[in-house]
Amino acid sequence: MTATHVVDHIHDQPMSEVALRSVAIEALLAEKGLLTADEVQRQVDLMDGRTPADGARVVARAWIDPDFKARLLSDARSALGELGIEIPADTPHLTVVENTEDVHNLVVCTLCSCYPRMLLGRPPDWYKSLAYRSRAVSDPRGVMAEFGTVLPADIRVDVLDSTADMRYLVLPRRPEGTEGMSEEELAALVTRDSMIGVTSLSG
């Protein structure tokens, strides 16, 4: 089936403009011999298989291994490779930012929905919404309060704008009273929202 036939066929089905464009591009790439349908499906399955558990594993390791944390903050791509998480060279740069007693980081993509999918999977709908993209910049504390996070006034909130060339992952503060926990137990405490920055694990 050629790209033209695919487009003709899907016109008969209720699809959004974005979905229509995606299917047409996939069919055109297959028609040109650049990709096969199986290769596209493998990439879709790979992305669908990514979850925030990957990011949580990274955070837990950083909590228990100061040397790993230092490497993660200075060269995230290399540090992730130590955990078997490979980030292809042609993907956007990943920067990991650490929440501290003085600074809390909040990630937003003001233009669209740029997001560290390789560690967190698909972004939540609210992350892609215009309301979040605008209010995270103009009223970050108000947005976090709606997620149940109210920070002391003396903690600075840094809003980081994710772009097509740069992705951010927040390294949340380790909760108090977790000193005796294993790495697996710590990873279970880490939430997707804490790695975006709309919530805090430290109370």
Positions marked active-site: 109, 112-114
Non-local (6+) Cβ contacts of 81 within 8 A are 87
- Report CA-CA distances (Å) from 165 to 67, 109, 116: 27, 11, 11
Closest Cα to residue 174, out of 73, 60, 52? 60
Collapsing DSSP to helix, strand or coil, 108 comes out as strand
CA–CA dist 37, 95 (Å, integer) = 33
Check residue 172 and report its DSSP letter: P
Residue with tokens 């591009």: 25
Non-local (6+) Cβ contacts of 144 within 8 A are 106, 150, 151, 157, 197, 198, 199, 200
